Structure 1
Amino acid sequence: MRGQELIVSAMGEAALLCETERPLNDADQRRYWAMARAAEAWPGVLEAIPGVNNLLVVYDPAAASAAAVERALREAWTDAVYQASESRLIEVPVIYGGELGMDLHGLAAHAGLSPEEVVRIHSEAEYTVYAVGAVPGFPYMAGLDPRLAWARRDVPRLRLEAGSIIIGGVQAGIMPVTTPSGWHSLGWTPMPFFDAAASPPALLVPGDRVRFTVEELRL
């Protein structure tokens, strides 16, 4: 059978989760994006949702069998090619530090860097949106410089403002809505990332690339 390395697991009676035993990597993530695009056109498939290092496919059991969807997924895994031309580059202006970037100095101390160095390193990188979820429009992004990696807070804050520029572990993110979070906030952007009345409501999609520009540094 093609796609033997792909692990396909049932998630309830109408969904299949695809993953591999390999660690997180760009090549596999791009395969999941391509598979999601393809799967949305298959008979009986209701939704294909890329995650971080996985893909969830929801289907209608009355229109497609689990075996048929799994077979299609394994074939798609072998053939999947993500077209780089589908990716957009989004530039995000950031006010680093200040009241809404309350963890900038803490990260600098943790990393043994100055706040200015943290801002330079963070803003020089290019980030890739691996998945969107957790809260509406939230982008899980790869590309964070290892020097800035910092485990999430043991006790989440009860409120992080929409627009907060955040990191958690080895990932970067942007808060699209105001919500509790255990991620660390380095700054804030006035740029909106989620609008329930818009179509689509989320600004970012998997595969998009993000660069942060320094609008202001508040120490």
Structure 2
Amino acid sequence: MTAVTRVAPCGDLALLADCQDPAGVAAAVRAAELPGVVEAVPGAATVLVRHTAAADRPALARRIAALEPAPRSDGASAVVVVLVRYDGADLDDMADLVGLSREEVVARHQASEFEVAFCGFSPGFAYLSGLDPRLVVPRLATPRTSVPAGAVAVADVWSAIYPRESPGGWRLLGTTDAPLWDETRTPPALLAPGTPVRFRQVSP
């Protein structure tokens, strides 16, 4: 079985590829420098490939379908260490839900080797894969109308940091002062797909 299981049209100027390693496939698309490709954006289980109007769409779809994920390069991205105060509103409930102590939840979250899988929801919001399986929990049944900027959270198989105040249904473990989005910085997002991330506890 190839890495890409299906390639379908997505609007007039894009193709959507279903795959198991979106970050690797997106990197492979960029590396292949396929004619007419404008950008490749990874998602949870897909890659959106935008192309120009002049692109040969059927040929491009065949080329994408034949790609294998680009291998990870050791040391390609420096680890981003995020300092966290584990003072989240859901930490105690989370511990009860997964049958661990508060301290064990914190330890497992810090020990997880995260990587940015894809970005979305709001500028600077990165979905981090690699969460310890014991910490996999569903979203809140009723989302909050307001989650503070810098909130470190988990939901399903993901962990993330809210870059700005917004509604949200993730379970809050802590807070950080890390600047997730800064329009004066190049690039403005602190976390990009493929970036390794580690969380480290600091005192409140």
TM-score by structure 2 length? Answer: 0.91
User: Deviation string for 1:94-117 (max 9, x for gaps)?
Assistant: 0011xxx10101101111111111
Shift in Å, 1:193: 0.7
Letter in 1 for 2:58: A
Of 98, 102, 107, the match for 2:89:
102
Shift in Å, 1:166: 0.5
**Distance (whole Å) between structure 1 residues aligned to residue 198 and residue 62 of structure 2:** 38
**Distance (whole Å) between structure 2 residues aligned to residue 4 and residue 96 of structure 1:** 38
Shift in Å, 1:36: 4.2
The equivalent of 1:42 in structure 2 is 34
Matched position secondary structure for 2:75: helix
User: Deviation string for 1:72-121 (max 9, x for gaps)?
Assistant: 3124x137434233232111100011xxx101011011111111111111
Please tell me whether residue 131 in structure 1 is matched to residue 118 in structure 2.
yes
Letter in 2 for 1:50: P
**Distance (whole Å) between structure 2 residues aligned to residue 57 and residue 5 of structure 1:** 13
- RMSD in angstroms over aligned alpha carbons? 2.0
The equivalent of 1:179 in structure 2 is 166
Give the % identical residues. 39
What are the ranges of 5 or more consecutive residues in structure 2 without an aligned counterpart? none
The equivalent of 2:25 in structure 1 is 32
**Distance (whole Å) between structure 1 residues aligned to residue 180 and residue 139 of structure 2:** 22
Contact 1:121-1:145 within 8 A present in 2 as well: yes
**Distance (whole Å) between structure 1 residues aligned to residue 72 and residue 12 of structure 2:** 29
Matched position secondary structure for 1:162: coil
User: CA separation of 1:213/1:79 partners in 2, compared to 1, >3 Å: closer, same or farther?
Assistant: closer
Letter in 2 for 1:15: A
Please tell me whether residue 66 in structure 1 is matched to residue 53 in structure 2.
no
- The count of aligned residue pairs is 204
The equivalent of 2:76 in structure 1 is 86
**Distance (whole Å) between structure 2 residues aligned to residue 156 and residue 192 of structure 1:** 24
User: CA separation of 1:126/1:80 partners in 2, compared to 1, >3 Å: closer, same or farther?
Assistant: closer
Matched position secondary structure for 2:201: strand
Matched position secondary structure for 2:200: strand
Contact 1:11-1:17 within 8 A present in 2 as well: yes
Matched position secondary structure for 1:85: coil
Matched position secondary structure for 1:109: helix
Of 199, 216, 219, the match for 2:186:
199
Letter in 2 for 1:189: T
**Distance (whole Å) between structure 1 residues aligned to residue 69 and residue 124 of structure 2:** 29
The equivalent of 2:10 in structure 1 is 11
Contact 2:17-2:65 within 8 A present in 1 as well: no
**Distance (whole Å) between structure 1 residues aligned to residue 4 and residue 22 of structure 2:** 15
Contact 1:36-1:55 within 8 A present in 2 as well: no
What are the ranges of 5 or more consecutive residues in structure 1 without an aligned counterpart? none
**Distance (whole Å) between structure 1 residues aligned to residue 70 and residue 104 of structure 2:** 39
